Amino acid sequence: MDKKNTSFNIATVAIVAALVVSTIAFKGVAIESAYPFERAAKVFSRCVWRPLTGLWDGVAARAENERLRREVESLSMVLADNAALYAENDSLRSLLGYREKLRGRWMAAKVLSFGGGAGATGRMARIDKGSSSGIVKGAVVCVPEGLVGKVVDVTAHTAEIALLPGGSVKVSCEIEGCRGVLGILSGGTDGSLVIDHVSGDAAIAPRSRVVTSGKGGVFPKGLVVGSFIEEIRPANGAPRSLRIEPAVAFSEIEDVFVRHEE
């Protein structure tokens, strides 16, 4: 090998070695140069981007939870409304079924309030039907449980009902199963019912049902009034009185039937 070729080979090796060394050195420099940016990106991702992403996810989750909460509340209101409608429908079905059992024409009405006007005596209730619907004074008022009272005052769209316990309504009554035992039922302000002027002396079984006798022409025969509780015998020998438990929970009445005369 001549001297010229040897020099060329040495130069080639030197160049290759220089390239390798420079590549290694440049790679280290490049890595070191990129380090601050990579570290900054990592810190930004960990300390800024992730919290922001989590915050956004939390806001979105809270918004979704709020939307779901509103939907649940809305559904709860719908369910409550449906339950109220079902209860009202059951009540109306009961009332309509009872009306079919009554003889004559009966009109359903809703109770607006209790107490009556300033000049009212006894216990009163006001209903949402009046003369424009054909309601007249003296009309009989019932519920499925029994007799409520009678109409004592009427306006175009309302009517005042005197309730049995108020004492202003007198009803001829009889005891079922006791032939000839009749009397006049009246009420006290304490909510009690008493039958006075009782005819006949037959023994009365406890809880015997008391119904209207139909005498006097005001109240139809057979309307339930209550149940016999006890008898009261005056010391002076006067006719006995009978204490009656009302069939109707008067303070809980919501709907009534009023006898409608043509």
Over residues 109-127, the pLDDT tens digits come to: 999 998 754 444 458 899 9
How is domain 106-262 classified at the CATH fold level? Thrombin, subunit H (2.40.10)
Mean pLDDT for 58-73 is 74
The structural domains of the chain, with segments of one domain joined by +, span 1-101, 106-262
**What was the pLDDT predicted at 119?**
41
Provide, rounded to the nearest whole percent, the portion of the chain with pLDDT above 70.
Answer: 61
- What mean pLDDT is predicted for residues 128-135? 91
Residue type at 29?
A: V
pLDDT surpasses 90 at 158: yes
pLDDT at 55: 63
pLDDT at position 187 is 82
> What's the average model confidence in pLDDT over 186-206?
82
Q: How confident is the model at residue 12 (pLDDT cuts 50, 70, 90)?
A: low
One-letter amino acid for residue 227 of the chain = S
Q: Which of 223, 68, 42, 239 is nearest to 149 (CA)?
A: 223
Express each pLDDT in 71-103 by its tens digit.
776 666 666 656 655 555 555 555 555 545 555
Q: Residue 152 pLDDT > 50, yes or no?
A: yes
- Is this prediction's pTM over 0.85? no
The pLDDT confidence band at residue 148, using thresholds 50, 70 and 90, is very high
Mean pLDDT computed over every residue of the chain: 76
The structure tokens listed for 61 are 């989750």
| pLDDT tens digits along 222-260 | 899 999 999 888 877 777 889 999 999 988 898 999 987
Instruction: Name which residue leads in pLDDT, 92 or 216.
Output: 216
Residue 122, C-beta contacts closer than 8 angstroms, at least 6 positions apart: 116, 162, 163, 165, 166, 167, 168, 169, 187, 189
Q: Is the pLDDT assigned to residue 217 strictly greater than 60?
A: yes
- pLDDT of 121 reads 46
Structure tokens at 142: 């019932």
What pLDDT shows up at residue 211? 93
pLDDT at 14: 61
CA–CA dist 139, 225 (Å, integer):
16
